[in-house]
Amino acid sequence: MASFTKEMLISDIILRVTKGKPSDDLELEPTQVAFWIDQILPALIKATLDKKLDAKLGIDPDYFKIESCIKPKIKISNCRDCQDNIYIQLECSPINLIRDLGVARVVTEDGVQLDKMSIHEIDNLRNLRFSKPSLTNIKYHRIKNNLYIYGVTEDTMHLVEFNAIYVPSQTIYDLNDDDSVFIGDEILPLLAEELETIARRQLYQSGIDEENNGKQDLNIQ
């Protein structure tokens, strides 16, 4: 997995589209390139990892982030009749992959694995004798970066902490220029090509297939 700073990545794109001669009055802001990266990168990672999962190859370990000793929190309902929600909050939002495999593993501090639930199947599971969530059979479902825990109650939540391994989604826009960006080796060339195309389209108002030959007719000055 390639690792470089945000500034290096954006500068490379600018150098590519200006043929290595960026001028002072260049109409291309680094923040805008960062915004494009945030638009393209999650889709590229998702497409690449979904393809790997489909081919039963698994996810490269480089993509994973590990978080340890996450204490559960409680979201108390304002309504007296509604149930309070117990959840753990991850630092980053996991990437959305098929069957939510972006979250690879959630375990208690004792190593007991938590089963993932599809949000549509929670009520079915609750009606099953041995699959229903309990303190010895804890389950979760995910909404954004919150994992909602079932089987732990307000009284027992202090007894347990969790460890999670997941593929985080990266937001380049908010990073500092010297912050590291991790991009998979197979994704980097695809990302650069996409960014280059968008940047050229913006700078040179091209990208339209005027000759109807299946190619973008770049009119580079």
Which residues of the shown chain bind another protein in the complex (CB under 8 A)?
56, 99-101, 113-118, 121, 125, 128-131, 134-137, 139
Q: Which one, 22 or 58, has the nearer CB to another protein?
A: 58
Q: Which one, 102 or 168, has the nearer CB to another protein?
A: 102
Q: Which one, 131 or 163, has the nearer CB to another protein?
A: 131
Beta bridge pairs of residue 146:
89, 143
Tell me phi and psi for residue 113, to 5 degrees: -75, 140
Q: Which one, 129 or 215, has the nearer CB to another protein?
A: 129
Taking phi over 0 as left and psi of -120 to 50 as alpha, with beta for the rest, 65 belongs to beta
Q: How far is the CB of 149 from another protein (least distance, A)?
A: 13
Q: How far is the CB of 107 from another protein (least distance, A)?
A: 11
Q: What is the crossing angle of helices 188-204 and 30-54, to 10°?
A: 140
Q: Which one, 117 or 181, has the nearer CB to another protein?
A: 117
Q: How far is the CB of 146 from another protein (least distance, A)?
A: 18
Q: Which one, 69 or 128, has the nearer CB to another protein?
A: 128
Distance CA 50, CA 198 (A): 25
**Centroid of chain to Cα 22:** 32
Q: How far is the CB of 187 from another protein (least distance, A)?
A: 23
Q: How far is the CB of 204 from another protein (least distance, A)?
A: 46
Q: Which of 117, 115, 111 is nearest to 68 (CA)?
A: 111
Enumerate long-range contacts of 70-74, CB under 8 Å, 24 or more apart: 70/161, 70/162, 70/163, 70/164, 71/161, 72/149, 72/152, 72/157, 72/160, 72/161, 72/162, 74/154, 74/157
Q: Which helix (H) or strand (E) holds 125?
A: helix 122-126
Q: How far is the CB of 50 from another protein (least distance, A)?
A: 14
